[in-house]
Amino acid sequence: MSKKIVAVTACIAGIAHTYMAAQNLKKYAKKEGYDIKVETQGAMGMENRLAQDEIDAADVVIFAVDTVVAEPDRFEGKPVLKVGTSEVVKDGKAAIDQAIALVN
């Protein structure tokens, strides 16, 4: 069974890095054959909000954020990889690999 990942991305201005990081995570997760859902917390507020059962079903959580994650209690008890958005924009594969390494 393929691993399930949920991720939250958020940058400071919330217009570019947030969405580029989300795209990169999706791209590389798909390449490696993992399921991924990404919530963006950008200038428009929360978009593609993760449902609690999606979070519960996930094997690992990625926070690609420069700010703090809104409503963090939803992720309590989950293994979390925390990185900055620019790292993910530069190298999406490394973030996915690190997250999977957390739970393997």
Partner 1 sequence: MEWKKFGKELANHFQTGVSYMIPLVTAAGLLTSIAVIFGGQNVWNQTSNIWGNLRLLGQTGLGFIPVIIAAYISFSIADRPGLAPAFIVGLVASSMGTGFLGGMLVGLLVGYLVKWLKKMPMPMNLMSVKSLIIIPFIATIVVGLILIYVVGSPIKAMTVGLTAWLKGMSGTNAVLMAALLGGMMAVDMGGPINKIAYAFGMAAFTSGGYQASTAMLMAIGIPPLGMFLATLLGGKRLYSDAEIESGRSAIVMGIVGITEGTIPFAVADPIRVIPSIIVGTSAGCAVNAFFGTVQKTALSTVMAIPFSSNWLLYTLAILIGVVVEALLVNFLKRFTKAAPAKEA
Binding site for partner 1 (CB under 8 A): 10-17, 20, 43, 65-68, 72, 84-86, 89-90
Active-site residue flag, 99: no
Buried b (16+ CB within 10 A) or exposed e, 53-72: eebeebbbbbbbbbeebeee
Q: Which of 5, 11, 29, 50 is catalytic?
A: 11
* Closest distance to partner 1 from the beta carbon of 42 (Å): 9
* Closest distance to partner 1 from the beta carbon of 38 (Å): 18
Structural tokens at position 76: 């309590």
Amino acid letter for position 22? A
